[in-house]
Amino acid sequence: MNNTSSIVSKVWSFCHTLRDDGVSYGDYLEQLTYLLFLKMADEYSKLHNKEVGIQAEYNWDSLKTLKGAELESHYINLLRALGRQKGMIGQIFVKSQNQIQDPAKLYKIIHMIDAEDWVMMGADVKGDIYEGLLEKNAEDVKSGAGQYFTPRSLIRAMVECVRPEPDKTIADPACGTGGFFLAAYDFLIKNYNPDKGQKIFLKNQTFFGNEIVANARRLALMNMFLHNIGEITGESTISPNDSLIADTGDRYDYVLTNPPFGKKSSITITNGEGKQEKEDLRYNRQDFWATTSNKQLNFVQHVRTMLKTTGQAAVVVPDNVLFEGGAGETVRRKLLQNTDLHTILRLPTGIFYAQGVKANVIFFENKPASKYPWTKEVWFYDFRTNIHFTKKKNQMTHDDLRNFIVCYKPENRHKRKETWSENNPDGRWRKFTYEDIIARDKTSLDIFWIRDESLADLDNLPDPDVLAEEIIENLEAGVESFKQIMESINGQ
């Protein structure tokens, strides 16, 4: 254990040294990814006496012997050459650049990594080091990396509710840095004690994703690789393609995802006057119930398409998916009709790194075609009203979600019991029938029933810093909405 903590402290101390040189967590993480991958590829090839597809002139040993300007020059050439390769190697090194301008510091990082035996190190140790860096990177507001990072406490709770089983496939059409894959992997290892065949399936045939941002995709691949998912010599199971463009025809047992927020899909075009402007991007797909430029509604429709007939999904969506009219109402009605949309978790504010986000998790099971609606009742857990979290002082933990998981009854959700009643109007767990919801204006699922104490009890307001953060969240959410309106008006 001491060895583990000493590696962690070494990795972190370098991070702080480089911060003083203006190298962000993100840049450090990127360089660490390239160098760790090269070192592990080197160890793997020596251990198994097997070629890994990296030419001798660009392997780990080629870096260890150089110093100064010669090292810097060679490193830049190495990144460029490996970025042109196929398979996992090419995906890790695509568009890679050297961000460490001081060759002496680059030399030190290389030798810090060289001192450890990474392939033999426990996957949990390597994974914890890397996950820690990913979280730090997400906190770095200027980098914007937070948008690719879903709170791990929420991911774990979603996985525990869905309860994936061995020998089944798991997909994420917007996988960011791979958080859902790792939580599902941990859950499967801990709860099922998989046999040899199941372990091989888990390593190579369980996880499938899409991530269009090269840097996030690289971090996801490395994160999975450090957790022993995928082969160093194999193909990447994370595609760089926009998952919304077309139905690939692949169907999965589970889809767990937090698609990117930002309401509209758009493309930049050059108009007749030579000026650039944005145009709403609508995905005309035969499998979609509604054609819309609302990105989240498209993702909900796409997730449903991705599922096998018995598949299960848990999807993070912003509030507008629950109440928006037009295409939104069509998608909600079709979802209630064609799937069993059984649970909605209303999430509190202050849990995402991106500001101003009001979100929910929708849980549904796909079903075969039927003339009767599959959804009989929708269970709501209001985890937002009178709940206050901040990213700095009062972070949401997995324990905060424990009561929701207990109410959800993952082992048999047909044995659920409401905590709300006429006598307990503040109970957070309440069901509404299909008829209740269909009768609502626009089939809105934007349902609350608990009295907001901050509106009623002025003597017991939250702490000033919590209030301030909530005001900022609401203002930023408002500003974001106005920006979208302006973009639509101006066609920009």
Strand partners, 339: 366
Reported as type and span, the H/E element at residue 314 is strand 307-318
> What percent of the chain has a predicted confidence (pLDDT) above 70?
84
Structure tokens at 470: 């909530």
Q: What is the mean pLDDT of the chain?
A: 85
Task: Taking each helix axis as running N to C, give the angle between helix 123-139 and helix 25-48, from 0 to 180 degrees, rounded to the nearest 10.
Answer: 160
Cβ neighbours of residue 126 closer than 8 Å, sequence gap 6 or more: 118, 226, 227
Residue with the two structure tokens 């911060």: 19
Mean pLDDT in residue range 441-450: 95
Q: Is the pLDDT reported for residue 135 higher than 70?
A: yes
Residue 101's pLDDT is 84
Identify whether the C-beta of residue 389 lies closer than 8 Å to the C-beta of residue 351. Answer: yes
Smallest CA-to-CA distance from 238 within 192, 190, 177 is with 177
Smallest CA-to-CA distance from 296 within 332, 325, 266, 260 is with 260
Does the reported pTM lie above 0.75?
A: yes
How do beta strands 170-172 and 207-210 pair? parallel
Smallest CA-to-CA distance from 73 within 92, 101, 94, 53 is with 101
Q: Is the pLDDT reported for residue 145 higher than 60?
A: no
Smallest CA-to-CA distance from 342 within 449, 217, 434, 212 is with 434
Instruction: Compute CA distances 393 → 145, 350, 398, 465, whole Å.
Output: 20, 11, 16, 9
Reported as a pLDDT band with limits 50, 70 and 90, residue 1 is very low
Instruction: Compute CA distances 462 → 86, 388, 473, whole Å.
Output: 54, 8, 15
Calpha distance 186→156 (Å, rounded)? 9
Instruction: Centre a 10 Å sphere on the Cβ of residue 397 and count the other Cβ atoms it contains.
Output: 13
- Compute, in degrees rounded to 10, the torsion defined by CA atoms 188, 193, 194, 196: 140
Query: Angle at Cα 317 formed by Cα 470 and Cα 343, nearest 5°?
Result: 105
Query: Angle at Cα 324 formed by Cα 401 and Cα 156, nearest 5°?
Result: 20
Residue 491's pLDDT is 55
Residue 326's pLDDT is 94
Residue type for 85, please? Q
Give pairs for 477-480: CB < 8 Å, separation 24+: 477/355, 477/356, 477/357, 477/358, 478/356, 479/356, 480/356
Mean pLDDT in residue range 243-269: 80
Residue 218's pLDDT is 87
How do beta strands 238-239 and 252-257 pair? unpaired
Residue with the two structure tokens 């799937």: 339
Q: Which domains does the chain have, with CATH numbers?
A: 2-134 (1.20.1260.30), 143-484 (3.40.50.150)
Structure tokens at 122: 């426990």
Mean pLDDT in residue range 193-202: 94
Q: What is the pLDDT of residues 211-230, one digit of tens each?
A: 998 888 888 888 888 888 88
Q: What is the pLDDT of residues 166-191, one digit of tens each?
A: 999 999 999 988 999 999 999 999 99
Structure tokens at 309: 């007939």
- Most confident among 2-16, 78-92, 369-383 (mean pLDDT): 369-383
Q: Is the pLDDT reported for residue 34 higher than 60?
A: yes
Residue type for 26, please? G
Q: What is the pLDDT of residues 272-300, one digit of tens each?
A: 454 444 445 678 889 999 999 899 999 99
Reported as a pLDDT band with limits 50, 70 and 90, residue 365 is very high
The number of angstroms, rounded, from the C-alpha of 138 to the middle of its chain's C-alpha atoms is: 12
**Start-to-end CA span in the chain (Å):** 55
Residue 402's pLDDT is 96
